[in-house]
């Protein structure tokens, strides 16, 4: 599509290929963004926000996929400091991370590279936006606890 329409052209096809299947896990659907989180008010705020939910350009998808490819090259991941504390947070029902399959793969990659301080929290029934989820207080508390433990270990 970039070659045919240019990199700034909105790409409904690439948008559907990238995001179109996410909502199918949450039927019946109230909106086309139910996959974001379980809090209907947060989903409605997302839909009402003119900066959210737009159709991206073909160039965006080229850049996104190229960036992901480069980011996950073993040589690039090997540059991550081995003692860097890393916390993954995700909803167990996040379709973007294939219900944590891709995140578990990344955690395994990091551990195989010798990154020794990798922690994760997968939240039951939570979806993509864990900080906007119905259990957001638990998520924020877990992040603060993890952050405080890192600070305390450095003192």
Phi first, then psi, for residue 48 (nearest 5°) are -75, -20
For position 3, what pLDDT does the model report?
52
**Token couple for 122:** 């997968």
For position 1, what pLDDT does the model report?
54
Alpha-carbon distance of 47 to 84, in angstroms, equals 36
- Per-residue pLDDT tens for 133-154? 999 999 999 999 999 999 999 8
Q: What is the pTM of this model?
A: 0.85
Instruction: Provide CB contacts within 8 A for 117, sequence distance 6+.
Output: 83, 84, 85, 86
User: Which residue ranges in the chain fall short of pLDDT 50?
Assistant: none
């Amino acid at each position: 599509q970039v070659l045919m329409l240019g990199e700034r052209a909105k790409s409904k096809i690439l948008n559907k290929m990238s995001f179109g299947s996410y909502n199918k896990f949450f039927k019946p659907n109230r909106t086309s963004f139910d996959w974001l989180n379980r809090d209907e008010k947060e989903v409605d705020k997302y839909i009402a926000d003119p900066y959210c939910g737009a159709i991206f350009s073909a160039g965006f998808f080229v850049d996104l996929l190229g960036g992901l490819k480069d980011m996950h090259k073993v040589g690039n991941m090997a540059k991550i400091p081995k003692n860097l504390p890393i916390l993954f947070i995700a909803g167990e029902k996040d379709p973007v991370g294939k219900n944590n399959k891709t995140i578990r793969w990344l955690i395994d990659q990091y551990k195989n590279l010798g990154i020794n301080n990798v922690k994760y929290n997968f939240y039951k029934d939570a979806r993509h936006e864990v900080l906007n989820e119905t259990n957001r207080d638990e998520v924020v508390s877990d992040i603060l606890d993890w952050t405080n433990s890192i600070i305390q270990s450095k003192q």
